[in-house]
Amino acid sequence: MAYQTIDVKPIAGALGAEVFGVDLSQDIGDQEFDEIHQAFLDHKALCFREQDLSPQRQVALASRFGQPDIYPFIKALPDVPEVIEILKTERDTVNFGGGWHSDTSYLPQPAMGTFLYALEVPDSGGDTMFANTQRAYETLSPTMKNMLEGLIGVNSSAQNYKGGRAKQMKELDGMKDKYIDSSEISIAEHPVVRTHPETGRKGLFVSRAHTTNFKGMTVEESQPLINFLSEYTVHPEFTCRVRWRPGTLVVWDNRCTQHFALNDYNGQRRRMHRVTLRGDRPA
Ligand code: SIN
């Protein structure tokens, strides 16, 4: 698409682009929004630099794309229930989001998109990686694609957020006061191959972080294929990497990507604000 109000420069072959020429602290017009939305569908992860976004402004922007959701495991900012703060302090050694996943895939309607805004970042490190799950699906062999057709993944919040992970989160200096120790485990069954509702493209929807097994199969039977698909999805050729600066906003499409927050900055501080959008039921 030829953009008239914005400049869009890809940052890798598989996905990701930087968007120039837009000030998100102001209301954006319909044409500007349509072009940003098209770039979101085309590039899957959009990076906007030097933005000045209050939590309210971040929610207002996200609302142009869809319905901001309430995240079930972290307390929101006191007066903005759609925004959570992700903080790793100088004392923490574990981070939030440090494993490949698509946000909230254990919910019946997993997050459609995520808006992550950087407030404080380490001098180096703390990048986020993204993977294009459609590119992964499209490059599988025809026989593997046939095998996956109709297969249902069972996705559980317990995989990450209960047991070991919950204990870790509670010990985190930056997150322990924000963690909601809900006794509820959320489990949702979703197709392993999902079709993007807006582009019609198929992509893989499996991750070791959330998928426990396939419907009708034991965990033991499922694990080898979950491991293969999880690793295949994040081959270097299917990924891009975003280096954060304070004021960077990244908007990504969870329906066709996975992401990974790198934990390579112990002793330094990283603070982000996150809004997720309610998605549809994967099909
Ligand atoms: C997340 O998984 O949503 C957090 C990603 C990040 O902090 O880079």
Q: Which residue has the tokens 């837009």?
A: 22
* pLDDT confidence of residue 137: 98
The list of the chain residues with pLDDT below 70 reads 160-168, 182-183
* pLDDT confidence of residue 176: 83
Is 270 touching ligand 1 by the criterion CB < 6 Å? Answer: no
* pLDDT confidence of residue 175: 85
Is 97 touching ligand 1 by the criterion CB < 6 Å? Answer: yes
Q: How many whole angstroms from 260 Cα to the centroid of ligand 1?
A: 7
Is 86 touching ligand 1 by the criterion CB < 6 Å? Answer: yes
Catalytic residues: 101, 103, 259, 274
Q: How many whole angstroms from 98 Cα to the centroid of ligand 1?
A: 8
* pLDDT confidence of residue 8: 98
* pLDDT confidence of residue 35: 98
